[in-house]
Structure 1
Amino acid sequence: MRWLSPVLLILIWQVAGATGVLPERILPAPQLIAESALELIASGELADALAVSSVRVVQGFVLGAVAGLVLGVVVGTSRIADALVDPPLQMLRALPHLGLIPLFILWFGIGETPKVLLIALGVVFPIYLNTASGLRQVDPRLQDMATVFGFSRRQRLTEVILPSIAPQVLVGVRQSLAIAWLTLIVAEQLNATNGIGYLIMNARDYFRIDVIIVGLVVYALLGILTDAVVRVAEARALRHYR
């Protein structure tokens, strides 16, 4: 029954658009938006834009995830690093990363670099925080038990540490993916010449609200899809470690 309310909302939207209650210049009817989406698919514009945007997200996510994991492991396993590294990172985390756009443009120009780095900056903190927190919360009794049984470093990692921190790290991954797509929406408006964001900006110049909505729907679907993939990976990983 969860699908009933969205379907009902779309039907009301369609009727309101078809009868003129909801003007097309404000919000086109779902049928018009679907037709625009099919046109973009048929012309190949949507596929090209989707490929470019996906590459940006993957690059930014990988860069931010690696940095977050490394920082999380260092801070989570060392009290000295916790005292020296964590405070400045927390200060940086308090800054809204999208507010750094002017600085990124001055530092890195208006090409691909600021877009990817902006995504990476948004990604790094959820993974860092969850990794460090997970390592701090590993049960000391499990560590002692591993020592008593003579676990090797590899066994200690695979049998004690990874099962303990996996749930939190994967939560960080899911949070980071959501931030990555959100950041992409803004980043692709920085003088972009391709990508979903460019498609939206170009549509704005021609008052194509239908195309703008298609782009926003694509962003939303990509976010939902990647979250679902991580959920499946999370379920399999946790099942493996049980």
Structure 2
Amino acid sequence: MVEAGHAGLVGGVIGAVTAYIRDKGLGPGDSLPSELALSKELHVSRTVIREAFRSLAAMRLLDLHVGKRARVAQLDHGAMALMIEHGVETEQISVHQIYDVRRTIEVRTASLAALRRSDAEARSILENAQAMQTQFHSPERVMEHDLAFHLAIAKASKNPIFSMIIGAFQGVSQQTWPIGWRSRSSDEERRAMNALHVAIAEAILAGDPQAASHLMAKHFDESVKALLAAGLG
């Protein structure tokens, strides 16, 4: 390794490991060489290799298990979620900005889901929307189905990047959702919100991308209005 200093060595190993994954065409679940083998190949200590592996695991690029070789991880939204939540907590990102991005993305995912969803995915989306209605008197359960509804639509879009982004927003959504629910002035408004989810699901089931995207845009416009009424911008 040509970089000087411990941090530079770790950074160099991180780059070497990601290059190895790319060059060897490794996929999720595939094993990397042992710490000892990499230590000899890269001419650094096993401590440096171990720290690089831990950093890559923290970024959700590797899976580490005691007594087993490091493996290429399945993509998930964990690292992105931490970044977004940190941004909100340190006031570098506002909730309004998050909902602006979500609106842009989820109008698109609704449209794509209407075109690409499987029958099973369409049923799952609709079941979550209907559960929001039937479990109306348990806001916690309504929230669970609401979050699952949006993630199911992202997955049905068949674009894994959308699924990662929507998944990464769910931690913040869990914090803001109760505020938006309470800020609606009546049960009638809350039931209307739930009914709108059912309408989105039915448009996706019907394979109508224009209706699905239009209804999703309406949903986010109303959600932002409710959050602003609660003083959360």
Normalising by structure 2, we get a TM-score of 0.29
Higher relative contact order (CA 8 A, sep 6+): 1
Normalising by structure 1, we get a TM-score of 0.28
